[in-house]
Amino acid sequence: MTELTPALRTGALPSGKNRRIVIVIAAIASTGGLLFGFDTGVISGAIPYFQSRFQIGNDWVELITTAGLLGAVIGALFCGRLADVIGRKKVILAAGFVFAVGALWSGMAGDARMLIAARFFLGSAIGVSSFAVPLYIAEISPARTRGVLVSLFQLLITIGIMVSYFSDSAFALPEGAPGYAECWRPMFYVGVIPALIMFIGMVFLPETPRWLLRSGREEECRSVLERVEDPAEIGDVIARMKEEIALEAGNRVRWSAVVQPWLRTPLIIAIGIMFVQQFTGINTIIYYSPKIFLMAGFEGARAAITASITVGVVNVAFCVVSLFLVDRIGRRKLYFTGVGGMVVALIALSSCFVLQAHLGNMVKPVTVALVWIYCACFSVSLGPLGWLIISEVFPLNVRGIGSSIGSLSCWLFNGVVAFTFFKIVRALTFPGTDIVIGGDNVGNPAGAFALYALVGLGGLVWGFFFIPETKGKSLEHIEEHWRGGKSPRQL
Ligand code: BGC
């Protein structure tokens, strides 16, 4: 992400045959992003149906959703080491296999416990691919196009979420139709297709030159570079890689390196921005929007899933917008505008649910419109900024560990939100506003949205002191700034 603008500006692809291989790499790696997004989003449309099939309440839904996230934490934790030992390519191949088996297993699950196990298993591949795929792309792409290819991965996650919404809606059946309680199974099975494409594609792609060089396989490294780099630059590229590898070996860093006092500020920034990104509730929409739309009065799971598709589309559209804004208007402005907009949308959403009884038919379109506004504001600000800022604030020698801490915090906070949403909805239902669906009192999400708005307000105050303006600053300059003991606002 960091190198987006220069790469976008100069981002011509290499010529001829090299151009083809770079495009193939981008395409295969894109399936990694798509899979990550697809398997994040697919559960949302499946929930109402497997709930009906297994006769389970929202507590179980939270458990099943969170199992995937827990798997992702574990996958992300062990992936770095594994990718160093067996190589990037083998790790991605293994993830492709786990994605495919996990998708089949999820679709075949005979009861809720089995579904938890299957989601946990599949989640580990999401965690692995969230780490290994961007690493693979960054290490194999020619320097000139690296920024574009890495940020493409972010965009593809949102496209994957959108595709899963479309696919869910294609299988969703209306209430009472034959096979109603089983139609969630093919929703999960579809995930096998991109997993196989990634697996088969990856078989034909090479290992990254950097890993090969580090493992003492210089000849193989050179032959991979001949396929992706400008031939005139290969010598320089290898020399530079050797320098970097020597530097890394001399500076073997431990996790404890990141808790030195002068690194406290970047650490607070990385964990803090992920806290705000997750605790303002984006994933309650990503995972549970059909359930939320049912609470807003949509009749039947199919109508609610169709409404969710529009959320997926807004998410993608504004992710594209953010690519063009982030280096133009700067991080702070984008943060305050985006989070401010999210807070307003959340307060409006909360009010809409409180006044549900009085708004009549208006509730449905107003809820959908407010969810769009909320998602649009997220997608231009906290979505990309979270990942961008964690990749910028740490000095080189702890950048890997620092951004791992950032992404692990993201998965953990995400898990907490997914696990608690329906509990919070019930606990914070304002008296007299309960919503009853199919004879079940499901509470009212107004209180939950108000709580997320409060976190957003806290995030605005926190951001005033802690969001650094990193636009146009070199990473060395940012490091010097922390070493000088200066505050983020002075950057
Ligand atoms: C967040 C994810 C979220 C996604 C939605 C990402 O930036 O980290 O938790 O599901 O945006 O597009």
Among protein residues, the one whose CA lies closest to atom 10 of ligand 1: 283
Q: What gap in Å lies between CA 185 and CA 163, rounded to an integer?
A: 16
Other CB atoms within 10 A of residue 69 CB? 27
Q: How far is the CA of 102 from the centre of ligand 1 (A)?
A: 21
Containing 382, the helix (H) or strand (E) segment is helix 382-392
Give phi and psi for 488, each to the nearest 5. -60, -35
pLDDT at 149: 61
Q: What percent of the chain has a predicted confidence (pLDDT) above 90?
A: 55
- Residue 282 and residue 382 in contact, taking contact as beta carbons nearer than 8 Å: yes
Q: Which tokens go with 438?
A: 């199919």
Q: Which tokens go with 407?
A: 């992404």
pLDDT at 324: 81
Q: What gap in Å lies between CA 458 and CA 137, rounded to an integer?
A: 36
Taking the CA of residue 382 as reference, the ligand 1 atom at the shortest distance is 7
- Residue 263 and residue 276 in contact, taking contact as beta carbons nearer than 8 Å: no
pTM of the predicted model as reported, rounded to 2 decimal places: 0.85
Q: How far is the CA of 383 from the centre of ligand 1 (A)?
A: 6
Mutate to test the pocket of ligand 1, among 44, 282, 342 (most ligand atoms within 8 A of CB): 282
Taking the CA of residue 319 as reference, the ligand 1 atom at the shortest distance is 12
Q: How far is the CA of 411 from the centre of ligand 1 (A)?
A: 10
Taking the CA of residue 157 as reference, the ligand 1 atom at the shortest distance is 12
Taking the CA of residue 410 as reference, the ligand 1 atom at the shortest distance is 8
Mutate to test the pocket of ligand 1, among 283, 284, 412 (most ligand atoms within 8 A of CB): 283
pLDDT at 298: 92
Q: Using alpha carbons only, what angle is made at residue 461 by residues 457 and 466, rounded to the nearest 5 degrees?
A: 130
Those residues whose C-beta lies under 8 Å from the C-beta of residue 238, and which sit 6 or more positions away, are 213, 218, 221, 222, 225
Please count the residues of the chain: 491
pLDDT at 146: 56
Taking 70 as the pLDDT cut, the residues of the chain under it are 1-17, 142-151, 248-253
User: Residues with beta carbon inside 6 Å of ligand 1?
Assistant: 40, 158, 277, 282-283, 286, 315, 383, 386, 410, 414
Angle between helix 143-171 and 16-54 (nearest 10) = 30
Q: How far is the CA of 357 from the centre of ligand 1 (A)?
A: 32
Angle between helix 399-427 and 446-466 (nearest 10) = 150
Among protein residues, the one whose CA lies closest to atom 8 of ligand 1: 383
pLDDT at 425: 97
Beta bridge pairs of residue 443: 435
Q: What gap in Å lies between CA 264 and CA 260, rounded to an integer?
A: 7
Q: What gap in Å lies between CA 286 and CA 186, rounded to an integer?
A: 20
pLDDT at 2: 34
Among protein residues, the one whose CA lies closest to atom 3 of ligand 1: 283
Among protein residues, the one whose CA lies closest to atom 11 of ligand 1: 383
Q: How far is the CA of 461 from the centre of ligand 1 (A)?
A: 22
pLDDT at 31: 82
pLDDT at 243: 84
Q: How far is the CA of 410 from the centre of ligand 1 (A)?
A: 9
Among protein residues, the one whose CA lies closest to atom 12 of ligand 1: 158
Taking the CA of residue 278 as reference, the ligand 1 atom at the shortest distance is 9
Q: How far is the CA of 281 from the centre of ligand 1 (A)?
A: 10
Q: How far is the CA of 414 from the centre of ligand 1 (A)?
A: 9
Mutate to test the pocket of ligand 1, among 157, 311, 374 (most ligand atoms within 8 A of CB): 157
- Residue 119 and residue 135 in contact, taking contact as beta carbons nearer than 8 Å: no
Mutate to test the pocket of ligand 1, among 131, 275, 277 (most ligand atoms within 8 A of CB): 277
Among protein residues, the one whose CA lies closest to atom 4 of ligand 1: 383
Q: What gap in Å lies between CA 66 and CA 71, rounded to an integer?
A: 9
Among residues 84, 187, 75, which one has the least CA distance to residue 125? Answer: 75
